[in-house]
Amino acid sequence: QEQNRELRVRLEQLKKERNAIILAHYYQRDEIQEVADFRGDSFLLAQKAAETEADVIVFCGVHFMGESAKILAPNKTVLIPDERAGCPMADMVNVDGLRKLKAQHPNAKVVTYINSSAEIKAETDICCTSANAVKVIESLDAEEIIWVPDKNLGQYVQDQTGKKMIIWEGYCNTHDMLTVKDVMEMKAKYPEAEFVVHPECRPEVVAMGDYVGSTTSILEYCRKSDRRQFIVGTEDGTGYQLRLDSPDKEFHFATKFLVCPNMKVNNLKKLVKCLETMKPQIYVPPAVADKARTSLERMLQVR
Ligand code: 13P
Ligand code: SF4
């Protein structure tokens, strides 16, 4: 506790010295969310990165999020507390594979979930996050859509929009672990609870949801709902904001395995250290960034 207090004081000093802003994804450890200037889901944080006046963006999330910030704000320094914080789903699609698919479907538009590398975004027509995926697909005038890399979100969006989509086989190790059996057991234990679920979960689990949505929309739904009890089908870190918003409601995570180990690689100590040393910094080769930027900016324009 005492150490954390000292770290927080040092962090405030460094933030002023460097003119830095701290962005934290809702899946970060509480000790990071507590000190963030903005907490958010992938969409909100990308927007904040694109708009900020600060010189330095410290992105507390996983690597692709830092990359997206750097692409959208190329003149800023983007730091991440630990560069080993990757996203296994982002690594499930490679440029060669995507190019092959594009060659097989020359008229298809490529829609890429923001959970992907800069190189993949550079091969993309438009990006999306879980918050705007349906809107992005509906905004496109295309017969065929290539969708990478999340098969679960892809399936959900296809069901919602009725569009013809060629779906890549990637998935989120954390959300994909939640099973129908887990949810049935929780529903038996908490019969009064509503089940809220992220569309990165398996389709059969998503189908059990009383509410399906991105991290931010789950938060909003729980805040506004009259129900007192919830079974939560998304990453454990979300509990911080859920409890802050509604201290009198009960939130039960659907399994104890809904923890993304990559998100938890960051901690307060590493956050302070990266601002102290100004390392590690995100670097995206300018040629790649320029191509990838178009796909991210198109996403930010969809309303
Ligand atoms: P959102 O932030 O869009 O809810 O995505 C969830 C996720 O898994 C981020 O890595
Ligand atoms: Fe990637 Fe899933 Fe972790 Fe998000 S929660 S960073 S999609 S592994």
- Predicted pLDDT at 303: 80
Kindly list the protein residues whose Cβ atom lies closer than 6 A to any atom of ligand 2.
27, 62, 87-89, 115, 172-175, 235, 260, 262-263
Chain mean position to CA 95: 21
Kindly list the protein residues whose Cβ atom lies closer than 6 A to any atom of ligand 1.
41-43, 87, 115, 129-131, 172, 200, 214-215
Cis check for the bond before 149: say yes or no (omega within 30 of 0). Answer: yes
- Predicted pLDDT at 112: 98
Residue 91 near residue 63, CB atoms below 8 Å: no
Ligand 2 atom 2: residue of nearest CA = 172
Q: Apex CA 162: angle with CA 157 and CA 168, to 5°? A: 50
Question: For residue 61, which atom of ligand 1 is closest to its CA?
Answer: 10
Q: What is the pLDDT of residues 24-38, one digit of tens each?
A: 999 999 999 999 999
**Residue 237 pLDDT > 90:** yes
- Predicted pLDDT at 76: 97
- Predicted pLDDT at 138: 96
Q: What is the pLDDT of residues 148-160, one digit of tens each?
A: 999 999 999 999 9
Give me the mean pLDDT over the 89-99 stretch: 98
Contacts of 263 (CB under 8 A, 6+ apart): 25, 27, 28, 61, 62, 85, 235, 237
**Residue 8 pLDDT > 90:** yes
Q: What is the pLDDT of residues 177-231, one digit of tens each?
A: 999 999 999 999 999 999 999 999 999 999 999 999 999 999 999 999 999 999 9
Contacts of 300 (CB under 8 A, 6+ apart): 46, 47, 50, 72
Ligand 2 atom 5: residue of nearest CA = 260
Q: Determine the topology of domain 175-253 in CATH.
A: Rossmann fold (3.40.50)
Q: How far is the CA of 2 from the centre of ligand 1 (A)?
A: 32
The chain-wide mean pLDDT, for the chain, equals 97
Label residue 1 by pLDDT band (50, 70, 90).
confident
Give me the mean pLDDT over the 232-257 stretch: 98
Q: What is the pLDDT of residues 56-87, one digit of tens each?
A: 999 999 999 999 999 999 999 999 999 999 99
CATH architecture of 2-87+263-284: 3-Layer(aba) Sandwich (3.40)
Q: What is the pLDDT of residues 158-190, one digit of tens each?
A: 999 999 999 999 999 999 999 999 999 999 999
Are the folds of 2-87+263-284 and 175-253 the same? Answer: yes
CATH architecture of 90-171+290-301: 3-Layer(aba) Sandwich (3.40)
Annotated binding site for [4Fe-4S] cluster: 87, 172, 260
- Predicted pLDDT at 125: 97
In the chain, what are the domain boundaries?
2-87+263-284, 90-171+290-301, 175-253
Annotated binding site for iminosuccinate: 25, 42, 113-115, 130, 198-200, 215
ipTM: 0.97
Q: How far is the CA of 3 from the centre of ligand 1 (A)?
A: 30
Q: How far is the CA of 86 from the centre of ligand 2 (A)?
A: 8
- Predicted pLDDT at 157: 97
pLDDT > 90 in the chain, percent? 98
Q: How far is the CA of 236 from the centre of ligand 1 (A)?
A: 12
Ligand 2 atom 1: residue of nearest CA = 87
